[in-house]
Structure 1
């Protein structure tokens, strides 16, 4: 598997990302909105760097497994416009299920929570990614594509393009986009996803196509009468990238490995049950939410 695909994709998108952040910053500043914070900017870019480094290492380590798996493919798929279109659609479908599972299985949520832990919503929020995704097993969701017969390097490229697209939905300065809202994930749809309002929690898991949420019953429209409150129910109140990365891992493992007299089934539920099971079991509660600066 060629890790150069992902690096080249990110290199291509980087100037576009930077331009979007500058334009967004100027718009928000003109509106008197202090949504950009230097401390958070450093935190978000640190998380992105750690995530990218972990991804490169994980790809190198997993490469033999992916190539071994590819020999059991069901079909020999050539590179044509139709196969490219097909792998893009299928990867987005599997991304939807990865993303949905990441909100409902604690083992996956402990990695994904870093992305949701900001109480702001701007383009830099897209860079809040966890270096522990390879440990929690994000890559497992792409293995069906390899078994179907799509070359591993093509799968990695499509994953990178999917994640690159998602940068553009992390903003408050873009309103609804007409007919595009019916088919594609948009800033409006993704603002709902990042909200901790009861009406919006665990909705709109789309990567590129919002149709998956509409098909599987997880879609909610952004409403004008609801002021979105961004973040997670128990804020971390820290700009430390390692706190953002590992705080929920600490919670999960401390509960699962606790010396208290609890059943094996309960320990497993702390690892692979709903995140709420572990949250409700915590003895020490997180301090009330504050709008940290």
Structure 2
């Protein structure tokens, strides 16, 4: 069962309720571009996950079949409870090392790049975490946790983490001692020095208390959300590549071959001495912190939101199809989705080429859907083609009606977008 698919309506219902709470309490925890960027990263992650989940499934199943020390029954409630707790223990170390080692941070950084903190931030997930993430859960296979139980508790762990991404829930008394809560997870998303690299648990905070990584949220130290080298972009593709690009740039510039290799596995923020000397990086000054923002007219914002909804519905359909689609068809869907989300990101950034890119995206839709039909991915009758052509024409009309004033290029805040990451 795809728990995420069935949970999605509840996710967006709760996001709607949080927006109402914002209005009622006079808070502003959402910005449209930031929220769309977060959910875009989640959409991309879910789409690519259909292709990459085989890495986790095959490695776990193989380890379970060949190395399991015990034969645990998936019909036993105790096995499920044990697996739920054990998974969170493994998650703690996966999450912790994801903050402490460069190459692991490169994958995980996506989740921390938002400078807002709301329920849409919970949907901001990596598309590259599958590369190393599977390693941390192999102990569960060795102990004998069946694959079905493993996949189920993994999904439940992820679902639990959704509700803690909010600023509207205060500290929860005794609950704070045992479980991850909005308060102690706000700490985890902070870039304040006192809060950084703390509170790694997914469901249970006890691991942090045991291993010395717990930090309470302090009234005298308001949380500043985000990462120390900002993404400064609404592009979900760049969000997934930013830290990798920074590490690659430093590795390429390093004079020592040993440094070129070890930079990937060194503690987060480590840089070769010669590179750091030639290309110094300034630390963020939180006393003058300003969120990344790009001025955009109301019409342009509405256009971006409506276009994004189409991709959100597309990923829901894709998840619903599950394993029924051929690999080539899923790959085509991922490429189509990546282009669309990239184009919407450029539109939100008010890039000078965004209008032309949108025209290209809309023009590509028809041949892309025709190819999907040829691959057996879709069955498009005359009515479906009429809807698709109608959507394209209405979108083109909207594109022409939206004022193009101010679409001159890159704001100064974006100059940081190409800077390599040095930690969070």
TM-score, length basis structure 1: 0.91
**1:170 paired residue among 144, 165, 189:** 165
- Helix, strand or coil at the partner of 1:10: helix
What corresponds to 2:269 in structure 1?
276
Moved over 6 A (4+): none
Task: Select which of 202, 211, 214 maps to 1:216.
Answer: 211
List runs of 5+ in structure 2 lacking aligned partners: 294-424
Q: Give, in angstroms, the shift of residue 54 of structure 1.
A: 2.3
Q: Does 22-31 or 158-167 show the bigger shift? A: 22-31
Deviations 1:64-85 (A, max 9, x none): 3332222221111012111111
How many residues align structurally? 284
Given candidates 23, 28, 33, the residue that maps to 2:27 is 33
Does structure 1 conserve the Cα–Cα contact (< 8 Å) formed by 2:101 and 2:267?
A: yes
* Distance in 2, Cα, partners of 1:119 & 1:278: 25
CA distance in structure 2 between the aligned counterparts of 1:268 and 1:149, rounded to whole angstroms: 35
Name which of 215, 229, 242 aligns with 1:234: 229
Q: Which has the higher contact order (CA 8 A, sep 6+)?
A: 1
Inter-partner Cα distance in structure 2 for 1:161 and 1:57: 21
CA distance in 1, matches of 2:21, 2:63: 48
Q: How far is 1:62 from its partner? A: 4.5
For residue 291 of structure 2, what is the aligned residue in structure 1?
291
Aligned match for 2:16, one of 6, 22, 27: 22
**2:250·2:272 contact (CA, 8 Å) conserved in 1?**
no
**What's the CA shift for 1:29?**
2.1
8 Å CA contact 2:113–2:227 kept in 1: the answer is yes
Query: Which residue does 2:59 correspond to in 1?
Result: 65
Matched, 1:123 2:125: no
1:182 partnered with 2:177 = yes
Q: Is the contact made by 1:235 and 1:286 (CA closer than 8 Å) also made in structure 2?
A: no
Residues 207-245 of structure 1, C-alpha deviation per residue, up to 9 Å, x if partnerless? Answer: 100000000001011111111111111111111111211
Structure-1 separation of matches of 2:272 and 2:126: 20
Alpha-carbon shift at residue 108 of structure 1 (Å): 0.4
Task: Give the conservation status (yes or no) of the 8 Å contact 2:60–2:134.
Answer: no
Q: CA deviation at 1:263?
A: 4.0
Residue 152 in structure 1 maps to residue 147 in structure 2: yes
In the alignment, is the contact (CA less than 8 A) between 2:191 and 2:226 conserved in 1?
yes
Asked if the contact 1:194–1:230 (Cα under 8 Å) also holds between the matched residues in 2, the reply is yes
Contact 2:22-2:29 within 8 A present in 1 as well: yes
Match of 1:74 among 42, 49, 69: 69
Q: Which residue of 2 aligns with 1:54?
A: 48
Q: Quick check: which has more Rg, 1 or 2?
A: 2
From 126, 130, 137, the equivalent of 1:134 is: 130
- Indicate the RMSD between aligned Cα atoms, in angstroms: 1.9
CA distance in 1, matches of 2:10, 2:173: 23
> Structure 2: how far apart are the matches of 1:248 and 1:34?
29
Quote the Cα distance in structure 2 between the aligned partners of 1:254 and 1:77: 47
CA contact (8 A) 2:73 2:146 kept: no
Residue 22 of structure 1 deviates from its aligned partner by 1.1
Unaligned runs of 5+ in 1: none
